[in-house]
């Protein structure tokens, strides 16, 4: 791991953790991450020869995050998804006929993959009293999953986890799971978490597995397009989607586990 990569990583973490303390700033950061990730995903689709109906996807991703921030998504999500699908079909008719259906399908999928999944961080942050602490916890768990998996894999990794991402190892994956699960159990002892030790451990373990799945999913998208990175927006880390891929699945799993373990009531 280069010094530049470490420095940029720490600076990025400081900015993100700082933004969490101010709800509107956190929501704005999610919007920027979402639109930047969408831009890079569209680039992958263009390389494959089937670009998104990009303006439709931009509006839809932004709408998902804005509506969630205003606590209106539960009322308007059905309308938003239907409007996105219909608009993509209609606008797509005025483009190339070859790949028409694929462009529409990719547009809806991109909206859900980036826009919908990012809203779960909005939901976590919006939980009364404990939202700030849990958002910090989710961010640390996902970040530590990436870091510990890489470090353990570098030190003792011998067996390839999957051909999708050749540098990832079974040892790194399991090492990250053990470290993050232990962190979850220890963190639950902090009174502000309002969790029992087993709740913290289960939530951290599930989030860790989901974060790794998110990373591998994005790797599969890059392999399909034949590229190493989705972009070069973040020095030493590749593109925005490269850096935040694990957060898309990880944040979703964390929010789900808050309900599964009984930490918050289902609305």
Give one DSSP letter per residue of 89-149, joined into a string: HHHHTTS-STTHHHHHHHHHHHIIIIIIHHHHHHHHHTSTTTHHHHHHHHHHHHHHHHHHH
Answer whether residue 266 is part of any domain.
no
DSSP three-state, residue 234:
strand
Instruction: Report the pLDDT value the prediction gives residue 22, as an integer from 0 to 100.
Output: 94
Alpha-carbon Rg of the chain, whole angstroms? Answer: 19
Answer whether residue 265 is part of any domain.
no
Q: 204: how many CB neighbours lie within 10 A of its CB?
A: 30
Report CA torsion sign: 170, 140, 195, 122: negative
Which pTM was predicted? Answer: 0.92
Total tally of structural domains belonging to the chain? 1
Q: Which domain holds residue 135?
A: 3-260
pLDDT in tens, 19-53: 999 999 999 999 999 999 999 999 999 998 889 99
Answer whether residue 234 is part of any domain.
yes
C-alpha neighbours within 13 Å on the C-beta side of residue 260: 15
Strand partners, 234: 238
Answer whether residue 159 is part of any domain.
yes
Answer whether residue 38 is part of any domain.
yes
Average model confidence (pLDDT) for the chain?
90
Answer whether residue 187 is part of any domain.
yes
Dmax (CA) for the chain in angstroms is 59
Rounded CA-CA distance 140/184 in Å is: 10
At which residue do the structure tokens 């392999």 appear? 223
pLDDT band at 2 (very low <50, low <70, confident <90, very high): low
Instruction: Report the pLDDT value the prediction gives residue 12, as an integer from 0 to 100.
Output: 77
Q: 129: how many CB neighbours lie within 10 A of its CB?
A: 9
- Range scoring the smallest mean pLDDT among 110-124, 166-180, 235-249: 235-249
Answer whether residue 136 is part of any domain.
yes
At which residue do the structure tokens 């969790």 appear? 195
Answer whether residue 267 is part of any domain.
no
pLDDT in tens, 53-88: 999 999 999 999 999 999 999 999 999 999 999 999
Backbone φ/ψ region at 96: left (φ over 0), alpha (ψ -120 to 50), beta: beta
């Amino acid at each position: 791991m280069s010094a530049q990569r470490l420095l940029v990583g720490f600076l990025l973490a400081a900015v993100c953790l700082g933004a969490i303390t101010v709800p509107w700033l956190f929501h704005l950061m999610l919007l920027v991450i979402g639109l930047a990730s969408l831009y890079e995903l569209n680039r992958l689709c263009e390389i494959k020869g089937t670009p998104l109906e990009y303006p439709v996807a931009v509006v839809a991703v932004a709408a998902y995050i804005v509506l969630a921030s205003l606590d209106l998504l539960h009322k308007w999500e059905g309308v938003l998804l239907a409007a996105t699908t219909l608009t993509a079909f209609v606008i797509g008719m005025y483009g190339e006929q070859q790949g028409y259906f694929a462009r529409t399908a990719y547009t809806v999928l991109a909206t859900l993959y980036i826009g919908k999944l990012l809203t779960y961080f909005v939901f976590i942050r919006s939980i009364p009293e404990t939202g700030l602490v849990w958002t910090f916890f989710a961010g640390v768990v996902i970040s530590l999953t990436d870091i510990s998996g890489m470090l353990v894999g570098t030190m003792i990794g011998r067996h390839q986890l999957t051909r999708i991402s050749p540098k990832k190892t079974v040892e790194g994956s399991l090492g990250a799971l053990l470290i993050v699960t232990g962190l979850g159990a220890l963190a639950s002892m902090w009174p502000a978490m309002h969790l029992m030790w087993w709740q913290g451990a289960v939530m951290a373990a599930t989030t860790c597995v989901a974060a790794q799945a998110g990373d591998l999913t994005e790797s599969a998208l890059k392999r399909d397009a034949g590229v190493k990175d989705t972009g070069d927006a973040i020095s030493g880390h590749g593109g925005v989607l490269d850096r935040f891929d694990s957060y898309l699945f990880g944040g979703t799993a964390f929010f789900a586990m808050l309900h599964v373990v009984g930490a918050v009531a289902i609305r």
